[in-house]
Amino acid sequence: MESTIELTNSKNTLKLPEEEEEKPLCNSQYQDAEANFGIGKKAQPLAWYFKISWILSDIVTPSAPIVSIVYFGAIYRGGPLGVSSVNVHILNFVFVLIDQLVCARPVKLLHIVTPVAFSAIYTVFNLVYWLFDRVEHVLYRGVIDWNDPGLSLRSIAFMSFILLSLVIIFWFLLYRLKLWLFSKLYGRI
């Protein structure tokens, strides 16, 4: 039997042969994992596609506000914004915020591990890229410029630990606010 994906205007469902019923794409397994977490019941393992979605979300969600903060705080020098700058530095954060408000994906403080690992990989990539051309391959002058390693290491440490921690705490508090509002509106979580 083949796996089929059915996406219609009336409902977004994913139907796989091992499943007997259709489940919503965004909420069902996340809510099952959250509802069963720490209550003594064994949580159902997440499907691989939910794990990939969760990992990508763990990277993108804190990265979007950090990109906006660093760009407007250290790189942008005034003047008109181009379409690509608006898309990358403003809309990216807006879409991530909407995603966090709409989806039932749990946010834990331990989710800081994935973006820290990503920032380590990105730092190595940035350094290797710079090594091939030490003049033209400076991506973020004044922020991460390996011609001044002290500045680069301070910036990376600030973004990877201090700023990232504050952003993760913000998303965690927003998630807890969503749970509180849900319990006030529906009387249960």
pTM of the predicted model over 0.85: no
| Phi/psi-derived region of residue 186, left when phi > 0, alpha when psi is between -120 and 50, beta in every other case | alpha
How far CA 43 is from CA of 39, 40, 46, 56, in Å, comes to 9, 9, 9, 21
186 beta partners: none
Task: Kindly report, residue by residue over 109-134, the tens digit of the pLDDT.
Answer: 999 999 999 999 999 999 999 999 98
Whole-angstrom distance, CA of residue 86 vs CA of residue 91: 6
Q: Can you list the residues of the chain whose pLDDT is less than 70?
A: 1-43, 189
Instruction: Please tell me the predicted confidence (pLDDT) of residue 88.
Output: 86
Contact 125/118 with Cβ under 8 angstroms? no
Instruction: Please tell me the predicted confidence (pLDDT) of residue 152.
Output: 93
Alpha helix ranges (H) inside the chain: 28-36, 48-70, 83-86, 92-102, 113-132, 149-157, 164-186
